[in-house]
Structure 1
Amino acid sequence: MLKMISKPAVKLVERYLPDPYIFVLLLTLIASVAAIAIERQTPLAVLRFWGDGFWGLLTFSMQMLLVLVTGFMLASSPPVKRILQKIAGTAKSPGGAIILVTLVSLAASWINWGFGLVVGALFAKELARLIRVDYRLLVASAYSGFVVWHGGLAGSIPLTIATEGISPPTRLA
């Protein structure tokens, strides 16, 4: 029923929604014109800002990619898979499976966000094979582990505070 109702909307979007690259070009053009008109920058300066910013984002993107790839490699290693299978065998009900996925995801995300992202998904998939449970809710509970990653072992704030030479911000009275 829902598929029949949504079919016209899907056809409309597929036919008239432009490629995402068009949006990238359009937003780049709008930002460039705004920088020239409002900030009084030269076109050459705007082009230089855009180029420098792009390469800075590329560095950051590569770092995030490495976190995800190493998290995937660790999460899909045989010892971790065996541990996840043993834990998955303890779930006896759909509610128990959801709570278990949440707890495992919380623990894995506390260690590292890339590890938690992959472990949560793999564990949800393993539990879905064993117990009849709403997979959408299982996946949502797997990603709920992200609420702790920023305070975990690889969290940005704790690592910044622990870095020598960087003092935490002071409170204004």
Structure 2
Amino acid sequence: MAAGLDVLVVAVFTLIGRRTHAEPLDPAGWWDTAWPFLAGLAIGWSVVALSSRAWPTRLWHGVTVWIATVFGGMALRDMVGQGTALPFVVVATIFLGVTLVGWRLLVWAVDRRRPEPARPSGTGRGRVHPPMQHTEVGDPLGLEELSGPREATPGRGVVPPADRERIAGELGIRQPRSPEDS
């Protein structure tokens, strides 16, 4: 939709220009006037799409599209010998700036005034996630049978208090000093 609006802006601009100068409004004449600005518009869209990896629909994208449309259009017109008189450059810059940036400004203003939908807490930047459902798998490891660590639980790495000093000595582990040893 944004591309359509931008093309419409350029089409209206060139139609008004042709009508103002009493030039015929035939398709071939319109195309002769419009193609440099449409090419500039395509350049602006490409620059934004390649640099920000987004379609140029945002307000700040409109500035890049506007500048590329004006400069690209004027450069191409100059290359093919069409007019680039200063008053025409000024009018084109103002008209295309007001319209290419203007419709984006209107969309931004309307979007800001629209109340945001209520977000459930903890979902992050507005994304709504469905509630998570877990599959019952029972107790495949038999963990419910374990009643927690005991002094004599085999294979759990628990050393009975009576054997701790002997094993620490065999392994060369220094035991922390207790306040009673001082």
TM-score w.r.t. length of structure 1: 0.28
TM-score w.r.t. length of structure 2: 0.27
Query: Could you say which structure has the higher helix fraction?
Result: 1
